[in-house]
Amino acid sequence: MSLKMKLIPLAIGGLISTAVLVLVLIFLLRAWWSTPLQVFGFGEPPEQPIAFPHTVHAQLNGINCAFCHRNVIQGDSASILPVEGCLLCHETIQGEVAEPEIAKVIDHFTNNRPIDWKKIHRLPDHVQFAHEPHVRFLTEVQGLSIEGACSTCHGNVKEMVEVEQTRSLKMGDCVDCHRDNQALTENSDITDCTTCHY
């Protein structure tokens, strides 16, 4: 065999491994794009437009999670209290520690500008998630309080000055919990792909 003939299989082998590498890279990049926060780790919450402390509201003043995230018990997304809702209290409560932050809240209200909170938990667009059935299951079937239900997936938020993601909420995490609890629900196919993917 000539040297040229020996090189052909080598060249083909090289092409194949390059193609495999490129595919793996594309896969990793896609995973990275669709869930950027989870790849960077849970430890780095984005900077919020107003330094809103859950400690002061949910812990010290005992305000219920569902007071500000009203939609969790009836809808898909949790929703965040609009700035008018903040004014229910902050019209009178000026805050001793962080007055400039309260001034920002009032400024948003008077100028009719919604507060653009940065998202901390975010699933890719091809995944569907609804809060209502989860909160219902955890409170009615598992007997947890509203706050206990939230902490199943979000950790102990009332002790967080800045909210951080504490649970992976990746596909394996979702599917494991669905498999473990399938028998307890009337929903017999919560492990089917189409339950979570459009």
Residue numbers 12-71 binding ligand HEC by CB under 6 A: 30-31, 34-35, 48, 50-54, 56-58, 61, 63, 65-69
**Residue 82: what residue type?**
P
Selected from 12, 16, 21, 93, the binder of ligand HEC by CB under 6 A is: 93
Dist CA 40 CA 55 (whole Å): 25
CB of 29 to ligand HEC, least distance (A): 9
Dist CA 164 CA 48 (whole Å): 12
**Torsion angle in degrees (nearest 10) through CA of 50, 51, 55, 58:** 0
CB of 58 to ligand HEC, least distance (A): 4
Quickly tell me which residue has 């090189």 as its tokens.
Answer: 7
CB of 59 to ligand HEC, least distance (A): 8
Touching ligand HEC, residues 103-162 (CB under 6 A): 105, 117, 119-124, 127-131, 133-135, 137-138, 146-147, 149-150, 152-154, 157-158
Dist CA 157 CA 50 (whole Å): 17
CB of 186 to ligand HEC, least distance (A): 6
When the beta carbons of 14 and 94 are compared against ligand HEC, the nearer one is 94
3-state DSSP helix/strand/coil % of the chain, to nearest 5: 55, 0, 40
